[in-house]
Amino acid sequence: MSSTPVTGSSFTNPVLPGFHPDPSVCRVGADYYLACSSFEYFPGVPVFHSRDLVHWRQIGNALDRPEQLHLPPGTPSSGGVYAPTLRHHDGRFWLITTNVSGGGNLLFTATDPAGPWSDPIRLSEVEGIDPDLAWDEDGACWCTCAGVHQVRIDPHTGRTLGAPRRIWSGTPDAKAPEAPHLYRIGDHWYLMIAEGGTERGHAVSIARGPTPGGPFEPCPANPILTHRGTDHPIQNTGHADLVQGPDGSWWMVLLGVRPGGGTPGWHVLGRETFLAPVTWVDGWPVVGELSLTPPAPPWPLTPAPTAPVRDDFDADVLAPYWISPGHHPAQRLTTTKRPGWLTLEAGDPSLDDPDVTFLGRRQQHHSCRVRALVDPDRGSGGLAVRLDERHHYAVELAASGEVRVIARVGSLRTVVATRQATPGPLVLRIETTSASSPDGPRSGPDTVILGIEHADGTLDDLAALDGRYLSTEVAGGFTGRVIGLYAATHTIHADWLDYEPNDR
């Protein structure tokens, strides 16, 4: 698909909407590449490409083989893969990350960021999370982790070369110094971190020093970015990375959320990737306008092809945006058993269970409609919106034609509604609708409507549920909503699934 360069006075933030947290970015020539956290989902660490920093296209997943990403049975939501750093050095791409559920800190390399990526180089001597990589003028490789501590490593073997040492850890008394990134810019080494926790207190601070290990002088204007204590529509701003454009300008990618509804505000899409300009004053970065429609970069914007609205499951392999909690044998999720259909073989019998067979895509719009034609065959399953194993809504179809809406909120699981339909394939439907004008402090951010679509096109809404219960503020954790198909018993098939954004 080709794209035509366009110009404009503004662009739309977030540049990667939906569950795309902890962005890390690098530029190679005229091309930008970005990677995000994936937590309990497989394949892991989505990788994106852009020519303008605004429009991104997913080109693959760095960890798309079981030998790269071990997610043990029972891996809970918000476990798995945390905070990658993506860099280009000496003709290769380097990606370092932490698998908190099995493997610790891991390093991968590739000549093409679309893959294939190498098997992991294990950094068994490097402790902590959120690892960063930087090379000095002598070629020494420095790994800096949350905390903040630093050690020199051999990136080819994963061995440490010396003892780790504590370096600058941000503002005194600020909790959770994390997400360190180290840069050589001009005459200084800059150490940028996140602090304050990844909730409403999140912030970005920076220090500079003469060497990769400091000593570091904090910026007098720290934090250089935070929206805490404000009513700004973008909150939880932090976990940032810097990149320089080909014209010499500087830019920051960072995570943030868009809470909605009443108090305290609920974000349901997860932590998203935003873009902000950066200027330099007296040797310190100054973050420019971070808004939902900020001024555009000073170069033509080239929209990347977007993920298709509809997948007819005609290809032999699944598109890279499809993800599953944990890792399943290939035969449990396949498009080859029944050509032109996605076949799902049941594992655990419920979305409450960690080994359920579920395949979904990130919800990227506050208002959207997802439909799928499901053939229950001899089993049961359906369409679900999932935040985690304890917070999800589903519309489920059985071979008998019975349709059920099931809600799981914390320790409560209930069948909300039932309907008897004609046995056989049926279109299942989930629609989310944002609350345009919150009614009081306890109003939810959106409504989730679950139902079916009859052969004549008429809609049958079975339940309208409050979306706040599928939010991070209720459920906790680090992920966002994922909408997709699941098998509860035996085998089900899906002929197609389409995702239609309704945000105005």
pLDDT, tens digit (0-9, with 9 covering 90-100), for 255-266? 999 999 999 999
Say what the pLDDT of residue 74 is: 85
- Averaged pLDDT score across all residues of the chain: 94
Strand spans (E) along 297-389: 310-311, 324-325, 333-334, 342-345, 357-362, 368-375, 380-388
The predicted-structure confidence for 204-233, as pLDDT tens digits, reads as follows 999 999 999 999 999 999 999 999 999 999
Annotated active-site residue 22? The verdict is yes
pLDDT at 111 over 70: yes
Expressed as residue numbers, the domain containing 101 is: 24-287
* Closest C-alpha to 108, from 125, 126, 93: 93
pLDDT in tens, 282-292: 999 999 999 99
Neighbours of 154 (CB within 10 A): 13
Q: Are 377 and 495 part of one and the same domain?
A: yes
Percent of the chain with pLDDT over 90: 88
Structure confidence at residue 327 (pLDDT): 84
Which single residue is written with the structure tokens 């989930």? 430
pLDDT at residue 488, rounded to an integer: 97
Q: Quick one: 209 and 70 in the same domain? A: yes
At residue 123, φ and ψ (nearest 5 deg) are -105, 65
250, 351: one domain = no
* Residue recorded with tokens 């994922």: 482
Question: Is 438 or 5 the better-scoring residue by pLDDT?
Answer: 438
Helix (H) or strand (E) holding 482: strand 482-489
Active-site option among 22, 40, 396, 431: 22
Burial 255-282 (b: 16+ CB within 10 A, else e): bbbbbbbbeebbbbbbbbbbbbbbeeee
**Domain check: are 341 and 478 in the same one?**
yes
Whether 307 shows a pLDDT value over 90: the answer reads no
CA dihedral 120, 123, 128, 129 (to 10 degrees): -20
Instruction: Examine the domain organization and report whether 112 and 153 are in the same domain.
Output: yes
Per-residue pLDDT, 329 = 81
What does the pLDDT read at residue 2?
30
Residue 4 has pLDDT above 70, yes or no: no
Non-local CB neighbours of 437 within 8 Å, separated by 6+ positions: none
Average pLDDT of the segment spanning 103-120: 97
- Select which of 130, 132, 178, 272 is catalytic: 178
- Give tens-digit pLDDT for 153-202: 999 999 999 999 999 999 998 999 999 999 999 999 999 999 999 999 99
- Give the count of domains, the chain: 2
Same domain, 280 and 339: no
Say yes or no to pLDDT of 308 above 80. Answer: no
Q: What is the CATH number of the domain that holds 390?
A: 2.60.120.200
Q: Do both 174 and 245 map to the same domain?
A: yes
**Per-residue pLDDT tens for 26-44?**
999 999 999 999 999 999 9
Answer whether residue 5 is part of any domain: no
Do 260 and 189 belong to one domain?
Answer: yes
Model pLDDT for residues 411-465, shown as the tens digit of each residue: 999 999 999 999 999 999 999 999 876 678 888 899 999 999 988 888 999 999 9
- Is 11 a domain residue? no
User: 224 with 342, same domain?
Assistant: no
- If asked whether residues 220 and 281 sit together in one domain, one would say yes
178 is catalytic: yes
